[in-house]
Structure 1
Amino acid sequence: MKATSASTAMISPSNMMSLGFSGALGNIDAYISAVNRLPMLTHEEEISLAKRLRDDNDLGAAQKLVLSHLRLVVSIARGYLGYGLPHADLIQEGNIGLMKAVKRFDPDQGVRLVSYSMHWIKAEMHEYILKNWRLVKVATTKAQRKLFFNLRSHKTGLDAMTPDQVEALAKTLNVKREEVIEMETRLSGRDIALEAPTDDEDDKFAPIAYLSSDSQEPTRVLESQRYDRLQTEGLSSALGKLDPRSRRIVEARWLANDDGSGATLHELANEFGVSAERIRQIETVALKKMKGSLAAFA
């Protein structure tokens, strides 16, 4: 299990041995067996120890309060084993929550420590689960966190929830049905490496192979912007500098149809009453003039 300075101070091996632990605590089963043998406190003992901690900052009293409730942490942690995280780590996080509860416990409120500490224990476990269940955090807001834990407990199998189940859960938790559907989608997914871990044929199926896009690459963006400007402002400006006959010839030859099948030289020759060669010469001069005008937009 993970160790913290607070847990080391309160639950050191020597202290545990002196309060009922026996044998080696090298695995989780031995630890659970040991904490279940620790004596439970009576209500009067609990109140007395809590007052000593509050009034005199008696760490020995705090230690006894923590140790007598370790079995509660084990019991709560067992309910979160379905998330696939180590049982020992869940217990350790719960122990931290228990120590926070003991520190804040007020014996004059008339509430037993076992009831008061459950919130703190679960809060620490929930935080640990949300941080470690996936690489990408699936729940960030308070509503999402509540939905995350309730949704898992309401699902009875691996199949998707029916519309009626979604509607019922949304009403129970007072959230929108769309939020239930979104959270279920997050829970049904899994972490996938962006790049394949090997160099074999599986590389082509890694997300990097089909999610990559060059459309937002800076040089491509600049090229696209320049092309759009040439097609609009540049072309309009270049055509505006031609005489009417030259403009008519260029538009008929190159801009009449999207597929490039414009008018022929002979068709324009008949229209203007000149030879086809004369039309070609006018076209050549006009295109050179347009090229010079378009250079300013390149």
Structure 2
Amino acid sequence: MGTVDYQGYSNQILEVARRAPYLSREEEFELATKWHDNKDAKALERLTLAHLRLVLAQAMKFRSFGLPLADMAQEGQIGLMEAAARFDPSREVRFSTYATWWIKASIQDYILRNWSIVRGGTSSVQKRLFFSVRRLHLEIARQHPEMNDTEIKSEIATKLNVKKSDVERMSSHLSAPDASLNAPISESDGTSAEKIDLLEDTGPLPDDIASDAIDMDRKRNWLADAMKSLNQRELMILKKRRLADEAMTLEALGEVMGISKERVRQIESAALKKLRSSLEEKGPGLIPVQ
């Protein structure tokens, strides 16, 4: 595996990868076919073990993001298994070529989820920006040392066919470290105030929450009392038509009750009037029952 520093990988993964034999095109095709056609578990094991080196190589390409290499390797193995599950050997494409995309995508998704506590967006455009801005910035700066930062960002936007403002936002996101809301506002004033104390709470006040809860309980009791004024048939119709998760149609309810759908509508209308009248007596200003 050369002299590459794989510090951070588990010894077990490295040892398995080192010992796994390389596969010829014919062997790879045979194993992939056995798995694809017959779900031969041993064939799948040999196929995936032989490509662990590919997983490690892909994980190393993303080591600059500062995440544990062992974790990225594990995510890459998930991508490798997904590739094996989807691979169709009849297309005459090398499995390594097909698996590389899945391994890379799996590692990139892991990085997007864990690189920062602040999510930077997971759309295809944002994902492309996240993994391209820093690389392109270094390449352009190396090739054109006369360019300033603004000119480099404009060039990146042109290459990626995105807005310059998108490049600027992503560059800011990549360069700014996460700040804890529990960090002290100032270390010199001797207070225990934290940055989170400066955030405005836009939610309702405790008094409003308590008042709303009391009002809701009162209205719920009024409605329960009003329902007692209905006879059994009216109550059944309102429950099936107004309170059920899936309301029954007038026609369907009429068939169940042995009456016409017009009669169901009349009974429902009369029951709603009773409820409306009772609720208006209990609490003026309540929203009328519709």
Partner of 2:195: 207
Q: CA deviation at 1:198?
A: 11
Partner of 1:192: 179
Segments of 4+ moved more than 3 angstroms: 197-206, 211-214, 216-219
The 8 Å contact of residues 59 and 73 in structure 2, kept in 1 or not, is answered as yes
**May I ask how many residue pairs the two structures share in their alignment?**
192
Q: Deviations over 1:11-61 (max 9, x none)?
A: xxxxxxxxxxxxxxx962453244123111100011111111111111111
Partner of 1:263: none
Higher Cα Rg: structure 1 or 2? 1
The 8 Å contact of residues 196 and 202 in structure 1, kept in 2 or not, is answered as no
Q: CA deviation at 1:155?
A: 3.4
Q: CA deviation at 1:124?
A: 0.7
Q: Which runs of 5+ in 1 are unaligned?
A: 1-25, 223-298
Partner of 2:63: 81
Q: Deviations over 1:221-275 (max 9, x none)?
A: x9xxxxxxxxxxxxxxxxxxxxxxxxxxxxxxxxxxxxxxxxxxxxxxxxxxxxx
Q: CA deviation at 1:106?
A: 1.0
TM (normalized to structure 2)?
0.59
Structure 1 distance, partners of 2:98, 2:85, is 11
Pair 1:103 & 2:85 matched: yes
Query: Of the candidates 69, 72, 81, which is equivalent to residue 51 of structure 2?
Result: 69
The 8 Å contact of residues 153 and 167 in structure 2, kept in 1 or not, is answered as yes
The 8 Å contact of residues 195 and 203 in structure 1, kept in 2 or not, is answered as no
Structure 2 distance, partners of 1:118, 1:171, is 28
Pair 1:136 & 2:118 matched: yes
Give the letter for the 1:163 counterpart.
Answer: T
Q: Mark the CA change 1:34 to 1:64 in structure 2 (over 3 Å): closer, same or farther.
A: closer
Structure 2 distance, partners of 1:169, 1:142, is 17
Identical-residue share of aligned pairs (%): 38
Matched ranges for 1:149-298 at <5 A: 149-156=131-138, 162-196=149-183, 201=189, 206-209=194-197, 211-213=198-200
TM (normalized to structure 1)?
0.58
The 8 Å contact of residues 155 and 161 in structure 1, kept in 2 or not, is answered as no
Structure 1 distance, partners of 2:31, 2:124, is 34
Q: CA deviation at 1:110?
A: 1.5
